[in-house]
Amino acid sequence: MLRLTSMELAEVIDYWRRLSDEKWKTTEALMEKERYADALFFAHLSLEALLKAVVVEHTGEQAPRVHDLVKLTYLAGLLPDDEQKKQLQLINTFNIAGRYDDEKFALYKKATRDYASDHVNKADTLRTWTQNKQQ
């Protein structure tokens, strides 16, 4: 990949951070509206965008077209512990479940208020961890 200029780098990082914040606001709004499965999907999108900001910052290159949160943490130079990896892998399933009808139906069935609240809180903790790791 081509390395970005410092101006491009700043713009791309800012884009991913702003996108992450917007997706997080959507997550919160969906939780308030009791749209739990959709909130989980947007929690994944928010965390993905934030990790992509760190990948760009770490590599000086455009973020890859990857949705796997665990892979993105490693590309970002972050080292999640086993529990964080487990949470990231679970949050990955919300991306798949939010896109495909048969998976979506299964997520809608298990996405209760408690389930969604628990996993949105875990996603928020991972977002904070990621933000604290940024340079």
Each residue's pLDDT tens digit, 64-107: 999 999 999 999 999 999 999 999 999 999 987 556 667 677 78
Coil, strand, or helix at residue 22? helix
Domains and CATH numbers, the chain: 6-133 (1.20.120.330)
- Residue 89: which residues within 8 A CB-CB, separation 6 or more? 69, 70
Mean pLDDT of the chain: 91
Looking at residue 2, its pLDDT comes to 65
pLDDT band for position 135 (cuts 50, 70, 90): low
pLDDT above 70 as % of the chain: 92
User: With contact defined as beta carbons under 8 Å apart, do 48 and 41 qualify?
Assistant: no
The larger pLDDT score, comparing residue 32 to residue 96, is at: 32
Tokens 């389930």 sit on residue: 115
pLDDT band for position 7 (cuts 50, 70, 90): confident
Looking at residue 34, its pLDDT comes to 97
pTM score: 0.91
Question: pLDDT by residue (tens digit) across 49-67?
Answer: 999 999 999 999 999 999 9
Mean pLDDT for the stretch of residues 97-125: 84
